Amino acid sequence: MEYTDGKWKKNSTDWDELMSTSLLDREAVIEGAVHSIRNMGDVAFIILRKREGLFQTVLENKIPDCSVHQLKEAMTVQVKGILKKEERAPHGRELRITGVKILSFPVESMPLAIDKWKLNTSLESKLNMRSVALRNIRERSKFRIQEALVRAFRDYLYEHGFTEIHTPKLGARGAEGGANVFKLSYFHKPAVLAQSPQFYKQMMVGVFDRVFETGPVFRAEKHNTKRHLNEYTSLDLEMGYIDSFQEIMSMETGYLQYAMALLKKSYDKELSLLKLELPNVDRIPAVQFEKAKELVSEKYNRPVRNPYDLEPEEEALIGRYFKEEYNSDFVFVTHYPSKKRPFYAMDDPADPRFTLSFDLLFRGLEVTTGGQRIHDYQQLTAKIADRGMEEEGMEQYLDAFKHGMPPHGGLGIGLERLTMQLLGEENVREACLFPRDMNRLEP
Amino acid sequence: MEYTDGKWKKNSTDWDELMSTSLLDREAVIEGAVHSIRNMGDVAFIILRKREGLFQTVLENKIPDCSVHQLKEAMTVQVKGILKKEERAPHGRELRITGVKILSFPVESMPLAIDKWKLNTSLESKLNMRSVALRNIRERSKFRIQEALVRAFRDYLYEHGFTEIHTPKLGARGAEGGANVFKLSYFHKPAVLAQSPQFYKQMMVGVFDRVFETGPVFRAEKHNTKRHLNEYTSLDLEMGYIDSFQEIMSMETGYLQYAMALLKKSYDKELSLLKLELPNVDRIPAVQFEKAKELVSEKYNRPVRNPYDLEPEEEALIGRYFKEEYNSDFVFVTHYPSKKRPFYAMDDPADPRFTLSFDLLFRGLEVTTGGQRIHDYQQLTAKIADRGMEEEGMEQYLDAFKHGMPPHGGLGIGLERLTMQLLGEENVREACLFPRDMNRLEP
């Protein structure tokens, strides 16, 4: 009987070995994609792209059975050779090739110069040729940064007693109702795609006390802006037995601190490739909604047009204000008007025109919405009735409250927006592998 | 200015403190849901349910302003009292209550006896009353086990140089085409829900070499069995520069070893609650498809009906065979017939009627499908043509191959099936928080 024991011995040399000194002047085998070829006549420099980075190999034109003319960009190859110290090469070493095995051939020349430091290509072209454009090492680095943000979210929450949940994206109705849901037919029954895991995560607070989910959400919003996607990844958490809604803000601050620390520790290669400076998140200022409006109206001499919501320009100004006045890239705006928050938001007992809620702005863009929820059944059903909403379709959500729910609250972070702001990108599509907007369903 | 610094000091005592000796005979504050009340006359035992487990508190009937008659199951409370050693209580301690603050009131009595050791309720009722049924501590433990399986998948793959990706669930067409896709209208354009991240993860192998995703997939299959869900969580990986398709099997074996180790280390509470014995995954036998068919046909005297696929009963018998003959709960079945594998599967050069592919059976149920993919553009387009398929809608997938792809392969694990088999459940719905099947879209 053949067995698999989980201990695969690769035919090729791994990156850590390549970087160690033990292999210098000895033979190594490297696999990778031909990122670029610089033919100098006597020798050619073949730069290989590996997941860990670029690696320089050198081919002398006298090697039998292997000529630089056989090689092409975008081939994938396995090269054998002697690992040599070379101060001028990246990582201070290079491989002097003794043999090349071609693993695959491209059939067309590259449509984009991915070996350039910066891809000088329109966003539209980059998105249309996503699988090629992302081979540029700066482009792909952005998604390693994104990985760190999700990974930190989960690891931080595991450490704080949260349970990870997976809730359905197909349902009989949306959490917030309204027009912004994608509808479909589910075995001849009407169904919708989840706009958020809101109801499910609340129900699960009654079970696990603290839960989180990282998954896609779908919004049929007819916005075609630089800040909107119609499908995005939401980092959601919900926690029970909170002392106040500020405890949720504290949890988010702790997460951001953890994320920055993880980036520094394990993603230094990407940080330096992108020349990213991480924001200081030791402490994040918090300001009430009305106060924030007032502050920017005064300082920037801008009339308040909509007293119930923040316009994008106002968010940007609040971000600017807190950068200028408090040198902070982040600011919590708290106590949003009840009118503009969903029915399950807890009104502030001190002034029920406002809610115990917050948004987190990062460099002037909302990246999180959160707050305390109503946990009392009667209070919840009264608010549903007050708003002229129906309980129909929410029976099982309401059941959780009928049978006792702790005081709780939570938040949802838009992963792509968080990534975009950290990267300093102008368009959220830059921070999404395969963005979906009103005009884009492919690739 | 107010600031949030991420260092919230809870009003209540945390579990680790409760379990330590430092707080014995001192005051503690505990929050939780009233799981059960046992009124003995002079004293009442109030068992609180917290995320970490059950905790015993004791209320003497002489305490002023607080009587057991005010308390009800499913209330959430904050109790103050003195922590005492008590050998007969779980964890060897209890809280002698000096004060009770009620945080929330249920409005109806519990529809299920969740404080019973086993919920003696039909699956249908459990699913209809999900938010209540899962409050049973054995029920909820199952999803902690599930958490460990996903967490281990990610952590193991991070360690092995994989990048986590998030690919769209809305697209212009399905990866495998065919009838099993949910269709919807996306801003007046036809769209489908992703059956798998197959195309995307392959495209991203050209970028990151190794990628994984954990997310929902949607199958409009008209199966209503104990093994099928129409939406499930798929653990997907795809890796480039593989030496052979067995390297993928090795990666999965390594993952399973890692998962079992994580369960033992960090989920011992749940393992003992559920009395789970973990399978041995030191090594996993592998058998070729045709050989497997032959072995069970001989041993169990069962005629081979379908030479191209495994019937569920046959899978169960293969599982039984490898348990009986090799004492293994797992078996890799390799070299599935080309006919039954998708177009992108790599045929075996030694015998192109078969593919370099595998399924992993766990206790007789398929929990994984994987294999090597075609990486050569011409070979891929030839196979598409051979099958009478159209390239239309696959242009951007094929672009990745046009511009060079390394040899690669991957797999997809059905999280709920893996959980189900580990738990010894009969129905996959037991291993899903909110299952979706042909008849169920709620809760």
Backbone angles phi, psi at A360, to 5 degrees: -110, 125
* pLDDT band, very low/low/confident/very high, at A24 (cuts 50, 70, 90): very high
Average pLDDT over residues A3-14: 94
**What is the H or E stretch that residue A16 is in?**
helix A15-19
Contact call for A183 and B186, based on CB within 8 A: no
* pLDDT band, very low/low/confident/very high, at B179 (cuts 50, 70, 90): confident
Contact call for A231 and B168, based on CB within 8 A: yes
Helices vs. strands in chain A: H and E counts, helices first: 12, 19
Tell me the C-alpha to C-alpha distance, in Å, between residue B129 and each of A397, B85, B442.
Answer: 10, 37, 10
Contact call for B250 and A7, based on CB within 8 A: yes
B132 contact residues in A (CB cutoff 8 A): 206, 399-400, 403
Which among A150, A169, A172 has the least Cβ separation from residue B231? A169
The closest alpha carbon to B420, from B119, B121, B146, belongs to: B146
B380-427 per-position pLDDT tens digit: 999 999 999 988 889 999 999 999 999 999 999 999 999 999 999 999
Average pLDDT over residues A231-239: 98
B120-139 per-position pLDDT tens digit: 899 999 999 999 999 999 99
User: According to CATH, what is the number of the domain A15-104?
Assistant: 2.40.50.140
Percent of chain A with pLDDT over 90: 91
pLDDT of residue B175: 61
Which among B108, B170, B243 has the least Cβ separation from residue A10? B243
- Is the pLDDT score of B177 beyond 70? no
Instruction: Enter the ipTM.
Output: 0.97
- Is the pLDDT score of A114 beyond 90? yes
- Which residue matches tokens 């939406």? B231
**What is the H or E stretch that residue A127 is in?**
helix A123-128
Residue B144 marked ligand-binding: no
Residue B138, chain A, CB below 8 Å: the answer is no
Mean pLDDT of chain B: 95
Mean pLDDT of chain A: 95
Strands B76-85 and B93-104: antiparallel
Asked if the A137-431 domain carries CATH number 3.30.930.10, the reply is yes
pLDDT of residue A124: 96
Q: Report CA torsion sign: B4, B7, B11, B12.
A: positive
Let me know: does B346 contact B372? Beta carbons within 8 Å. yes
CA atoms of A389 and A265, how far apart (whole Å) = 49
Residue A203, chain B, CB below 8 Å: the answer is yes
Backbone angles phi, psi at B238, to 5 degrees: -145, 130
3-state secondary structure chain B: CEEECCCCCCCCCCHHHHHCCCCCCCEEEEEEEEEEEEECCCEEEEEEEECCEEEEEEEECCCCCCCHHHCCCCCEEEEEEEEEECCCCHHHEEEEEEEEEEEECCCCCCCCCCCCCCCCCCHHHHHHCHHHHCCCHHHHHHHHHHHHHHHHHHHHHHHCCCEECCCCCEECCCCCCCCCCCEEEECCEEEEECCCCHHHHHHHHHHHCEEEEEEEEECCCCCCCCCCCCEEEEEEEEEECCCCCHHHHHHHHHHHHHHHHHHHHHCHHHHHHCCCCCCCCCCEEEEEHHHHHHHHHHHHCCCCCCCCCCCHHHHHHHHHHHHHHHCCCEEEEECCEHHHCCCCECEECCEEEEECEEEEEECCEEEEEEEEECCCHHHHHHHHHHCCCCCCCCHHHHHHHHCCCCCEEEEEEEHHHHHHHHHCCCCHHHHCCCCCECCECCC
pLDDT of residue B295: 96
The token duo for B388 is 């009478």
pLDDT of residue B120: 87
- Per DSSP, the three-state class of A201 is helix
Chain B residue at shortest CA distance from A232: B168
Q: How many CB atoms lie within 10 A of CB B252?
A: 27
DSSP A359-427: EEEETTEEEEEEEEE---HHHHHHHHHHTT---TT-HHHHHHHHT---SEEEEEEEHHHHHHHHHT-SS
Judge if the upstream peptide bond of residue B443 is cis by omega within 30 degrees of 0.
Answer: yes
Give the alpha-carbon dihedral of B28, B30, B35, B36, to 10 degrees: 30
The closest alpha carbon to B130, from A401, A396, A171, A381, belongs to: A396
Which among B4, B50, B150 has the least Cβ separation from residue A284? B4
Average pLDDT over residues B11-35: 95
Among B37, B50, B51, most A C-beta atoms within 10 A, so best to mutate, is B51
* pLDDT band, very low/low/confident/very high, at A177 (cuts 50, 70, 90): low
Residue A334 marked ligand-binding: no
Contact call for A203 and B443, based on CB within 8 A: yes
% helix / strand / coil in chain A, to the nearest 5?
Answer: 30, 30, 40
**What is the H or E stretch that residue A84 is in?**
strand A76-85
pLDDT of residue A118: 87
Average pLDDT over residues B181-198: 96
Contact call for B210 and A253, based on CB within 8 A: no
A382-434 per-position pLDDT tens digit: 999 999 998 888 999 999 999 999 999 999 999 999 999 999 999 999 999 99
Tell me the domain boundaries of chain B: 15-104, 137-431
The reply to whether A15-104 and A137-431 are identical in fold is no
The closest alpha carbon to B140, from A165, A199, A237, belongs to: A165
* pLDDT band, very low/low/confident/very high, at B174 (cuts 50, 70, 90): low
A73-95 per-position pLDDT tens digit: 999 999 999 999 999 999 999 99
- Is the pLDDT score of A179 beyond 90? no
CA atoms of B295 and B293, how far apart (whole Å) = 6
- Which residue matches tokens 């995307």? B200
* pLDDT band, very low/low/confident/very high, at B273 (cuts 50, 70, 90): very high
B354-363 per-position pLDDT tens digit: 999 999 999 9
B433 contact residues in A (CB cutoff 8 A): 165-167, 200, 204
CA atoms of B335 and B308, how far apart (whole Å) = 11
Tell me the C-alpha to C-alpha distance, in Å, between residue B324 and each of A134, B151, B320, B332.
Answer: 49, 31, 6, 16
The closest alpha carbon to A155, from A69, A7, A263, A246, belongs to: A263
B8 contact residues in A (CB cutoff 8 A): 243, 246-247, 250-251, 254
CA atoms of B223 and B246, how far apart (whole Å) = 31
CA atoms of B440 and A171, how far apart (whole Å) = 9
B34 contact residues in A (CB cutoff 8 A): 404
pLDDT of residue A175: 61
pLDDT of residue B427: 98
DSSP E strand stretches across A267-312: 284-288
The token duo for A290 is 């009305």
Q: Running DSSP on this structure, what letter comes out for residue A70? A: G
CA atoms of B403 and B221, how far apart (whole Å) = 35
- Is the pLDDT score of A120 beyond 90? no
Contact call for A165 and B184, based on CB within 8 A: no
Q: Report CA torsion sign: A99, A104, A107, A110.
A: negative
- Which residue matches tokens 């997939």? B217
Let me know: does B100 contact B413? Beta carbons within 8 Å. no
Let me know: does B374 contact B345? Beta carbons within 8 Å. yes
Residue B414 marked ligand-binding: yes
User: Letter for the amino acid at A30?
Assistant: I
CA atoms of A182 and B184, how far apart (whole Å) = 8
B51-60 per-position pLDDT tens digit: 999 999 999 9
* pLDDT band, very low/low/confident/very high, at B176 (cuts 50, 70, 90): low
Higher pLDDT, B229 or B393: B229
Backbone angles phi, psi at A140, to 5 degrees: -70, -30
Residue A120: burial class (beta carbons within 10 Å; 0-12, 13-18, 19+) = exposed
Residue A247 marked ligand-binding: no
Contact call for B256 and A6, based on CB within 8 A: yes
The token duo for B294 is 């032959």
Percent of chain B with pLDDT over 70: 99
Q: Report CA torsion sign: A181, A184, A185, A186.
A: negative
Residue A21: burial class (beta carbons within 10 Å; 0-12, 13-18, 19+) = exposed
Contact call for A286 and B441, based on CB within 8 A: no
CA atoms of B237 and B256, how far apart (whole Å) = 14
